Chain A
């Protein structure tokens, strides 16, 4: 569970005729991660795609264009189709569909264009409808010039002044005008019109009354619209009828193309092929058996190397370099159970673990929700977080949302636990009375105990108050930091020891562990001496252990990592102090909650609130107070997701992972078919 699966490098060689079958078998085995063939090797060249690829690609291209015409989405697909059903006259169906859909789309487009034209004509005609003239009267004059168009005011008086012989018709609402002037006075008339913001609208070349023409256009439009509806309905029907088939065929063809193009990743000679791949060692017997049995001796599988975690140390520099590139390529197949898997995405968001290091997902699963819970630390928010996370895990499909839901769900559980037992509060209000603050027991007028007895044990309900025990909480978070970093260095030690051997691991990681332990002892001493004010002598046992531990640690780190190690010393202290954010964020939320609660309760019952209902407030105030309470706590709730979530992630990525995690590995991606819309009943899979 902790290390990525062990990998074996294999070489699969065979006669070229068997290449297609080999690819088929590997796809069914789903456990070979192909290494792209590099064209360096002598006598080999890249393989050519299998012959079915080009035909399938062409069909795929057609299908995709049909998909676009019909506007098919994932939601339109109903159920799955078996590939035998798809393959049955696939070509005929595509040709038929193409004719049907192209026809429907074209007629739809034609109608849509005609509707646009008619609507434009109608808009022009509607202007002329307001004037009492037939359309033929606007043209064919020898001595007259006609201006028709829109105006912003009544230009009649100005026109009469500029061109006394003009005749003006203006619409009732005064925004459309037709002016008839003698050609001699046309310029003056036009100038007068421009003063009124004249925009010309030429009269249509039809004849007859505009009213009748509009009515006729309307009739035509109604007919066209119904035929457009029909065309759309027809397309919708086609979509409804064929969406499942089209999507399924798309998937089927894509898979064919993908498989047919696999030879591009394989080295070939005239008569043979050679395929380089990674196979998980545990899958090897299954793979070997399938290849010998199903490919009948035409293909041979050769185990090249079972990859150990240990880096081999060759002294020859060039060789080491060559080896390094090989190491980078080993894919990491993470092995986690169902619960831990939910956190994989979070660890991989930073980087995929290398083949030769621990997969940090498991450690993240444990500490991440605890940190989140500690920062929230309030059952009033914890329970909504659990519910929200649970709904998210049920409903969400994308990795991102599932990850957030996972964090909320598990973080919510810890937030509730800390909320009940450590801080004893809900919505920033303590259960039992403490420090004369408001508490649920004083507000509700019932007695809530400070602790409950379960089976003879006194379980406290609220040890610390976030705003009153600042010192204690900070001190506690520093120790959490030390413990977390201790864990980080231990994992680092393990990683180094499996990769480079014990000696390296001791020098590089045990040194830091010694410095950390020394620092922790020193912290105990300093707290006694400076904060508690206890008399301590410099010969205190803690000092006597801490100083040599740290000195030896620094020397070892210096030997292991060089002078850089000394520079990293203050960084370690910074890392530890960084964990105080666990307390600080909780405090800031408690402060916000206190502010909102105080405002809400004062609105409800005035300054003297002690018990709910002690002063009878009126209804409006009650609603206002409830509103403030709800909005205030909703704000804190949302802020909690962002700040607590981000900061707990950051503590892992920056402080914790830096102590051991390298990342930059390659994800294990075997040859594999993922079917969403198709099924393969007649397949020969095992």
Chain B
């Protein structure tokens, strides 16, 4: 149960953060195509949140 919550909530959180960043990044790219690399990186930064969630979930699951 707690493992599921950990993954689900962090998943939602990173999705929300990525949405915000990606829309800004696309806007910036429209002005300067060279920003693609930077935009891409900024967009995937929040992915770490869900990785943390997953690690916590796995630890919980393993210690059951």
Q: How long is the Cα–Cα vector from A470 to B55 in the complex, in angstroms?
A: 11
Given A578-B51, A581-B51, does the pair A650, B41 have CB atoms closer than 8 Å? yes
- List 23 contacting pairs A-B, 8 Å CB cutoff, sorted by A: A349-B36, A350-B41, A470-B58, A471-B58, A471-B62, A474-B58, A574-B48, A577-B51, A577-B52, A578-B48, A578-B51, A580-B54, A584-B51, A584-B54, A646-B44, A647-B44, A647-B47, A649-B40, A650-B45, A653-B37, A653-B41, A654-B44, A654-B45
Q: Which of B36, B37, B44, B51 contacts A580 (CB 8 A)?
A: B51
Chain A 345-369: CB-based contact to B (< 8 A → 1; otherwise 0): 0000111000000000000000000
User: Given A350-B38, A653-B37, A577–B55 Cβ distance below 8 Å?
Assistant: yes
Which residues of B sit under 8 angstroms from A470, Cβ to Cβ?
58, 62
Q: Write out the residue numbers on chain B whose beta carbons fall within 8 Å of the beta carbon of A471.
A: 58, 62
CB distance from A665 to the nearest CB of B (A): 14
Cross-chain contact A650 with B55 (CB below 8 angstroms):
no
Q: Which residues of A lie under 8 Å from residue B36 when comparing CB positions?
A: 349
| Contact A650–B44 (Cβ < 8 Å) | yes
- Residues in chain A near residue B40, CB distance under 8 A: 349, 646, 649-650, 653
Question: Which of A350, A531, A580 makes the CB contact (< 8 A) with B55?
Answer: A580
CB pair B58 A349 closer than 8 Å:
no
- Which range holds the interface residue count of chain B? 10 to 19
B residues near A (Cβ < 8 Å) are 36-38, 40-41, 44-45, 47-48, 51-52, 54-55, 58, 62
A653 to B36 Cα, complex, angstroms: 13
| Extra contacts besides A574-B48, A578-B51, A647-B47 (16): CB < 8 Å | A349-B40, A350-B37, A351-B38, A470-B58, A471-B58, A471-B62, A531-B62, A577-B48, A580-B54, A649-B41, A650-B44, A653-B37, A653-B40, A653-B41, A654-B41, A654-B45
Tell me whether chain A's interface is mostly helix, strand or loop, or mixed: helix
B41 CB → nearest A CB, Å = 4
Residue numbers in A under 8 Å from B58 (CB-CB): 470-471, 474
Best-surrounded residue of B45, B52, B58, B62 (most CB of chain A within 10 A): B58
Q: How far is the CA of A261 from the CA of B38 in the complex (A)?
A: 34
Complex contacts, B51 vs chain A, CB 8 Å: 577-578, 580-581, 584
Q: How far is the CA of A291 from the CA of B38 in the complex (A)?
A: 42
B-chain residues with CB within 8 Å of residue A584 when the two chains form the complex: 51, 54
Contact residues of A with B, CB < 8 Å? 349-351, 470-471, 474, 531, 574, 577-578, 580-581, 584, 646-647, 649-650, 653-654
A278–B17 Cα gap in the complex (Å)?
A: 44
B38 cross-chain contacts in A, Cβ below 8 A: 350-351
Task: Give the chain B neighbours of A350 by CB distance below 8 A.
Answer: 37-38, 41
Question: B47, A650: Cβ atoms under 8 Å?
Answer: yes
A529 vs B52: C-alpha distance when bound (angstroms): 22
Docked CA distance A653–B38 (Å):
9
**A349 to chain B: which residues have CB within 8 Å?**
36-37, 40
Report the minimal beta-carbon distance from A245 to chain B, rounded to whole angstroms. 33
Q: State the CA gap A213–B34 with chains docked (Å).
A: 62
Q: Cβ of B44: which chain A residues have Cβ within 8 Å of it?
A: 646-647, 650, 654
Chain B residues contacting A647 (CB-CB under 8 Å) are 44, 47
CA–CA, A531 and B54, complex, Å? 17
What are the residues of chain A within 8 A of B48 when measuring CB–CB? 574, 577-578
**Which A residues are CB-close (under 8 A) to B41?**
350, 649-650, 653-654
| A584 CB to nearest chain B CB (Å) | 6
Closest to A653 in B: B41
Across the interface, which residues of A come within 8 angstroms of B45, CB to CB?
Answer: 650, 654
Q: How far is the CB of B44 from chain A (nearest CB, A)?
A: 5
In the complex, what's the smallest C-beta–C-beta distance from A246 to chain B, in angstroms?
A: 29
Chain B minimum-CB-distance residue to A649: B40
Bound: A349/B36 CA distance, A:
7
B42, closest chain A residue (CB)? A654
A581 cross-chain contacts in B, Cβ below 8 A:
47, 51
CA gap between A350 and B41 in the complex, in Å: 9
In the bound assembly, the distance between CA atoms of A580 and B55 in angstroms comes to 8
**Closest A residue to B56 using CB positions:** A577
User: Shortest CB–CB separation between residue A577 and chain B, in angstroms?
Assistant: 6
**Across the interface, do B52 and A574 meet the contact criterion of CB distance under 8 Å?**
yes
10 closest cross-chain pairs (CB), A and B: A349-B37, A653-B41, A650-B44, A350-B37, A581-B51, A578-B48, A580-B55, A584-B54, A577-B55, A654-B41
B47 surroundings in chain A (CB, below 8 A) = 581, 647, 650
Q: How far, in whole Å, are A650 and B38 apart by their CA atoms in the complex?
A: 10
Cβ distance A404 to chain B, nearest Cβ, rounded Å: 13
Chain B residues lying within 8 Å of A531, measured Cβ to Cβ, are: 62
Task: Give the shortest distance, in Å, between A529 (CB) and chain B (any CB).
Answer: 13
A653 to B48, CA, bound (A): 14
B18 to chain A, nearest CB (A): 12
Kindly state the separation between the CA atoms of A531 and B59 in the bound complex, as whole angstroms: 10
> How many angstroms between the C-alpha atoms of A228 and B62 in the bound complex?
78
CB distance from B13 to the nearest CB of A (A): 15
Cα-based distance from A474 to B51 in the complex (angstroms) = 11
CB distance from B27 to the nearest CB of A (A): 19
Alpha-carbon separation in the docked complex, A646 to B36 (Å): 13
Q: What's the Cα separation between A646 and B62 when bound, in Å?
A: 29
Bound CA–CA A470/B44 (angstroms): 24
Contacts of A653 in B (CB 8 A): 37, 40-41
